[in-house]
Homo-oligomer: A and B are copies of this chain.
Amino acid sequence: MSLKVTKQEEDYSKWYHDIVLKAELADYSPVKGCMVIRPNGYAIWEKIQQTLDRMIKETGHQNAYFPLFIPESFLKKEKEHVEGFAPECAVVTHGGGKLLEEPLVVRPTSETIMYHMYAKWIQSYRDLPLKLNQWANVVRWEKRTRLFLRTTEFLWQEGHTAHATRKEAEEETHLMLDVYRRFAEDYLALPVLTGRKTAAERFAGAVETLCIEAMMQDKKGLQAGTSHLLGQNFAKAFDVKFQNEKGEWDYVWQTSWGVSSRLVGALIMAHSDDQGLVLPPKIAPTQIVIVPIYKTDDEKAAVLAFANKIGTDLRSRFSVHLDDREQFKPGYKYNHWEQQGVPLRLEIGPRDVASQHLMTARRTGGSKTPIPAGEQLAATIEKTFAEIQQLIFEKAKAFREVNTHRPQNEAEFREQLDAKGGFYCIDWCGDPELERKISDETKATIRLIPFDQPTALDLCLFSGKKAIHQVIWGRAY
């Protein structure tokens, strides 16, 4: 396969798809809107899963698994929920060769089926909090799809908790949003804004939706994770009640929160370049590639022996691939592994064997550096990885900051939005009608109401009325 990737500046969308296809992360499938996640892409998802699963368990949650199918009547029990999801559902009407008495919806999200069970399991305050998480596939019938970012079927985790008080449920939504923020920033090297959604952008059935929002390199926003306070809406619809310490019955307070395989898309879009994929060391399935360089048979024997020894030494702490393919020249291999996003390349030639050094080349650039192959090698590489991780994060953060604007009036906002995209910090009156009008006209939305608010607000940039908070407007995936 050709190693050439369309330039980002030429055609951002084509650049993205080139990277996904050429790095063999995913492929189109014969089922409209569904993708095939290939081994290179799935390995990234596995790293995401492993890390996040640990963080979810460390915060006191347990994994469980609920049915793929949801009786259609369940979805209808919470009014806003069904309005939000019914138009996106895939419906099973036949099973085992027969028409079903009641159609089954392929889960677009699992609130309804899970809370039916919660009603059975929860009787007393002693059964609370109930804190479950599920790793699963979900289906939402999408008109426009894009590999990883928006597909009809996608993979995700969905946490669902039930608490005795609103306060506890609120704390849970913030706790999990913070898990997502830490995960995005510390592992994906993806700087995110944290805040709340406006009512228009909330999850269907939620009282409040918290979110983390990232900026891609085309300056569009991307919602990278959400954490919903469901209040007692679903508890009332599914009769999830408990008896408190005084013996009184009350509805539970609930939360749900999730991130999906779109994070793989976010990772690609945020960091990659015209050479291909760029992966932060903490999430790269292959962290180090070793490329041996030799001409004669004698050189080959010495170089491969040394390369194998280095590989073996490093494998206890890193994931290492030794590319000893005979049919390709080193230069081809360099390009190949750069396109695959491997953070660090170790080049080993005859002179390196003699001097017991390795030449290191970072995927993120800079001059090649020789490092000694002795006892300190692993520690040196750890340090290098920490630097690379930090560099990728800082670069993305600086990019977001440069592309976050503070227009002086509506005309300036509209002009800038079209001319250069990005995020717009705007003091906002909170009028939902006005929000819809501006969204319809500009195709931008209020991405979030950041937790981080200025100490003083001007009047609303659009209505001239009193502003109630500062919000971020922008176009998004």
Q: What residues make up the interface of A, taking CB atoms closer than 8 Å to B?
A: 27, 29-31, 34-39, 42-43, 45-46, 62-71, 74, 86-97, 103-104, 106, 113, 116-117, 120-121, 132, 136-137, 139, 141, 143, 152-153, 155
A398 to B46, CA, bound (A): 40
**Contact pick for A42, options B38, B64, B141, B143, CB 8 Å:** B64
**What are the 10 closest A-B residue pairs judged by CB atoms, nearest first?**
A96-B141, A39-B62, A34-B67, A37-B65, A91-B94, A95-B141, A93-B93, A90-B95, A31-B67, A31-B69
Given A94-B93, A143-B96, check contact A39 B68 (CB 8 Å): no
- Chain B residue, CB-CB nearest to A73: B30
**Contact pick for A137, options B71, B95, B137, B152, CB 8 Å:** B137
B29–A67 touching, CB < 8 Å: yes
Closest chain B CB from A327 CB (angstroms) = 9
A43–B62 touching, CB < 8 Å: yes
Q: Which of A64, A88, A120 has the most CB of B within 10 A?
A: A64
**Contact pick for A116, options B30, B35, B93, B113, CB 8 Å:** B30
Closest chain B CB from A120 CB (angstroms) = 7
A-B contact pairs, 19 of them (CB 8 A): A27-B121, A30-B116, A31-B69, A31-B71, A34-B67, A34-B68, A36-B64, A38-B64, A39-B64, A65-B155, A68-B139, A68-B153, A69-B153, A88-B96, A90-B96, A90-B104, A92-B92, A92-B93, A93-B93
Residues of B within 8 A of A35 (CB): 67
Closest chain B CB from A27 CB (angstroms) = 7
**Contact pick for A31, options B70, B87, B132, CB 8 Å:** B70
Kindly list 4 other residue pairs between chains A and B, CB separation below 8 angstroms, not including A93-B94, A137-B137.
Answer: A27-B117, A38-B64, A89-B95, A90-B95
A69 to B141, CA, bound (A): 12
Closest chain B CB from A41 CB (angstroms) = 8
A470 to B92, CA, bound (A): 45
Residues of B within 8 A of A74 (CB): 30
A141 to B94, CA, bound (A): 10
Residues of B within 8 A of A94 (CB): 89-91, 93, 103
B34–A69 touching, CB < 8 Å: yes
Closest chain B CB from A286 CB (angstroms) = 12
A40 to B92, CA, bound (A): 30
Residues of B within 8 A of A64 (CB): 36-39, 42
Closest chain B CB from A23 CB (angstroms) = 14
Given A27-B117, A30-B116, A39-B132, check contact A67 B153 (CB 8 Å): yes
A91 to B137, CA, bound (A): 17
A384 to B397, CA, bound (A): 53
B88–A91 touching, CB < 8 Å: no
B29–A113 touching, CB < 8 Å: yes
Closest chain B CB from A61 CB (angstroms) = 9
**Contact pick for A87, options B97, B136, B137, B153, CB 8 Å:** B97
Closest chain B CB from A301 CB (angstroms) = 25
A248 to B67, CA, bound (A): 47
A69 to B36, CA, bound (A): 11
**Contact pick for A43, options B36, B63, B66, CB 8 Å:** B63
Residues of B within 8 A of A88 (CB): 96
A139 to B68, CA, bound (A): 9
- Chain B residue, CB-CB nearest to A126: B327
A139 to B90, CA, bound (A): 15
- Chain B residue, CB-CB nearest to A66: B36
Residues of B within 8 A of A152 (CB): 95
